[in-house]
Amino acid sequence: MSLRIIVVLAVLTGISGSPSVTVGPEADSADTRAHPNSVPETVEKTEILGQQEVIVQEKAEENVMATGELNINHYPARRAAHVVQHYLNTLYGSPYRLLQLHKIHRGNAEDVSDSERKYELEISVQELIGNTTGKCSAEILFPRGERQRSPQVQASCEELLKINTKAQEEALYQQYKMNSGLLSAQNLPDSYGHIEPDMKPFWHLSIVAASFVMLNESSENTLYNMAQVANITQLATENDQLKFDCHILLHEMVSQEIIHWKLLFTWSPPDGVKVLQMEQLPHRHEGEIPPNTN
């Protein structure tokens, strides 16, 4: 009896693991173009290719899949975990500190009222620049129906912020605070996926600013990634913040849309990133707006 169960489990694991085995080289290059960023490719690849199939399944079995213990390889857990990533970047991100989902260990989802759903996740998060990894426990509350409310996140992490980035941040700040020439850059990364070393801090800074948008725009049915900075321009300020005007491209992986946003944000080492304005630009694909009700 118990032996039979083990055999069935083994077969199921084999099946759910198969999409990542079928990843082909053409898909690789297509994906690298779509995501010319520093995110490890293997994770994203699997996501994109598995996407259509998984979405179809989710539509059919939405209630079964998204409630109770979650399969950590399926999209409900992954989408919620990305919201935690955006949240952590809004709190701790800097030109020298960028957090990224590394692994999902466990997940659970439940309806907590008619209007909210709660996810509880155990994940590992990686700090990309210093290359440290730490575990986080997180709770994500998604409002149902109302599109304008963003998810509420709580997270506690260990070991993540060990590396002190103060000296690097202060040096960058002083360099660009002088205002001798205001920064202006286009296409981070360029179409070859390349970013000049001295522009990398601004790519990271833009991802942090974008995280405010991605957090605010996320729902249970979205999966946002930063795709590119079309341009970023430093503006003169009278106060002690550096100020930037920035045009970014986000990739929403469920609808496969590239979405353009214009952001106005400030940064300084003690105050971090503050987004003053965010505006979505009418640059969408043909596709329709993702459904907002369940």
Ligand X SMILES: *[C@@H]1O[C@H](CO)[C@@H](O)[C@H](O)[C@H]1NC(C)=O
Compute the distance between CA of residue 62 and CA of residue 73 in angstroms, rounded to an integer.
15
Distances (CA, A) of 103 to 16, 83, 214: 17, 14, 20
Q: Pick the closer one to ligand X by CB: 172 or 232.
A: 232
Question: What distance in Å separates the CA atoms of residue 254 and residue 20, rounded to the nearest whole number?
Answer: 18
Least separation in angstroms between residue 211's CB and ligand X is: 11
Backbone angles phi, psi at 260, to 5 degrees: -95, 135
Binding mask 106-145 for ligand X (x = CB under 6 A): -------------------------x--------------
- Looking at 148, 156, 180, 191, which residue binds ligand X (CB under 6 A)? 148
Are 124 and 246 in contact by the 8 Å Cβ rule? The answer is no
Q: Is 277 in the site for ligand X (CB under 6 A)?
A: no
- The answer to whether residue 156 forms part of the interface with ligand X (CB under 6 A) is no
The distance of closest approach from Cβ of residue 231 to ligand X in the complex, given in angstroms and rounded to an integer, is: 4
| Least distance to ligand X, CB of residue 283, Å | 8
Residues touching ligand X: how many (CB under 6 A)? 7
> In this chain, which of 177, 216, 264, 274 binds ligand X, going by CB under 6 A?
216
Check binding of 247 to ligand X (CB under 6 A): yes
Minimum distance between the CB of residue 174 and ligand X, rounded to whole angstroms? 26
Report DSSP state, residue 181: S
- Choose among 144, 140, 142: nearest CA to 114: 144
What residues contact residue 115 under an 8 Å CB cut-off, 6+ apart? 143, 144, 145, 146
Contact (Cβ atoms closer than 8 angstroms) between residue 232 and residue 183:
yes
Report if residue 82 touches ligand X, rule: CB under 6 A.
no
89 binding ligand X? (CB under 6 A) = no
- Contact indicator for 65, 74 with CB cutoff of 8 Å: yes
CB of 147 to ligand X, least distance (A): 8
| Alpha-carbon span 136 to 158, nearest angstrom | 7
When asked if residue 104 is in the footprint of ligand X (CB under 6 A), the reply is: no
Q: Give me the residues that bind ligand X (CB under 6 A), please.
A: 131, 148, 150, 216, 230-231, 247
